[in-house]
Structure 1
Amino acid sequence: MSSRFLTTVAAVATLCASSLALASDIQLSNPAVRAMPPGAPASGAYVTLTNHSDQDRYLVAAESDVADAVEVHLSEMQGDTMKMYQVEQVLVPAHGQAQLKPGSYHIMMMGLKKPLKAGDQVAFTLVMKNGERLPLTAPVLSPEEMTQYMPAGMKMKSMDHSKMNHGNHKKMAEGEHSSHH
């Protein structure tokens, strides 16, 4: 065999292997963004991350150009007050899921650059701890459409982020919070 043929075979094999490596072990499903009235300063985005690998994975950031700041947050009840904190990471367990949903982990968009109305689409990039970047487009859903994402007993109209206690400190989203997945 000629060296040119072997070089070509090696190059093709390398290209095939690198394109296979680009296939993510993380599957994104059920994305949604909460529609907000004009003038609302913030909104939430939700998605389910399913990890098909043998290793735990971690969501560490989210990016979008629809807001001045896009962060991963955790909402939780402390007594009779809903508290919200930015988290450094969200565990997506091996062969498991992390659900970003109202009243739990979610993507918080603050300083909206334009109103988000039902029917719009919002582009995001989810950033994993290993550097992987996952593109995502989420539909903006009306309050009625958002009911499928709400935990039992929680009403969307009561979710006014402007009245929530947005903690100024970060929490790790592991250990004590792993039961929220």
Structure 2
Amino acid sequence: MRRPLTALAAFAMAGGLLLAPQTANAQTAGVTPPVAGVQETPPLSPLKVTAYYPRRVYAGRTITYTLKIKNVGKWYTDIAYVAGETPKQAYKVRVTGPKGSYCEADADKREIGCLLDRLDAGESATVKVKVWLRSSARGTATAEFASASIDVPAGGIDTLDMYGLETGVDLKYVKVKTKIVRR
């Protein structure tokens, strides 16, 4: 029963974040700032992202980013989340994750999002992002990926709303650059 509840919690928590990783750090009007002296708790299971990608690519070809997400904490993750923004030279994007994950790509906005199944301490998962470049692409293809571990309290997702608890989300960004070579 844990997996369906985790998926439900992930959708409720990630909601608008799934395809909007840049909004996680933005200040929103109407939101009250944290009370002085109260710190947001860091996640119990922080994630580390390692990106593997080509250093050069021909215009009109594809770039495949392999993202390795590792739980470097002492506890398992309740929800593991990977998001990113693909290069502006892309016209098509596809993202695939491990079994039990929910991944989505939006080529128009160049954004990807992937909710992963539970990651135990020391365990890792791999997400692949394939990007098709325009034949007119020039310069440097720059992509940015982030991971986050969301800790859900023992009372479940409703506990967050009832008590106004913070989730302990800590996004870690990785920026990668690939030079586009013309023939």
Whether TM exceeds 0.5 here: the answer is: no
Bigger share in helix: 1
TM-score computed with the length of structure 2 as normaliser: 0.42
Larger radius of gyration: 1
Larger strand proportion, structure 1 or 2? 1
TM-score computed with the length of structure 1 as normaliser: 0.42
